[in-house]
Amino acid sequence: MRAGTDFRGVVGAAVTPVTAALEIDVPRLISHCDAMLQAGCAFTSAFGTTGEGASFSADQKIAALQAMKDAGHDMSRQVPGIIAAAVEDAARLYRACAELGCRAALIIPPFYYAPSSDAAVAEFYAAVAERAGSPGLDIVLYNFPHFSGVTFTPALVRAVQAKLGDLVIGIKDSTGDLEGGLELIRVFPELSIFTGDDRILTRVVAAGGAGMIGGLVNLFPADSVTLCGGKVDAAFEKRAAMRIEAVDAHGGLVVLKALVAARYGDDGYRRTMPPLAPLEAGLSASLAEELGFTGETL
Distance CA 146, CA 151 (A): 9
Select which of 142, 163, 257, 269 is catalytic: 142
* 19 carries a ligand binding annotation: no
C-alpha distance from residue 140 to each of 45, 105, 167 (Å): 11, 6, 9
Residue 257 one-letter amino acid: K
Is residue 264 annotated as a catalytic residue, yes or no?
no
Strand order in the sheet with 168-173: 43-45, 9-13, 211-214, 192-195, 168-173, 139-143, 105-107, 81-82
Is residue 172 annotated as a catalytic residue, yes or no?
yes
CB 94 within 8 A of CB 82: yes
Give residue 242's Cα distance to chain centre.
Answer: 20
* 50 carries a ligand binding annotation: yes
Residue 128 CB-half CA count within 13 A: 37
CA dihedral 195, 198, 204, 210 (to 10 degrees): 50
CB 110 within 8 A of CB 149: no
Select which of 94, 172, 257, 269 is catalytic: 172
Return binding residues.
50, 213
Return binding residues for pyruvate.
50, 213
Any idea which residues carry the catalytic annotation? 142, 172
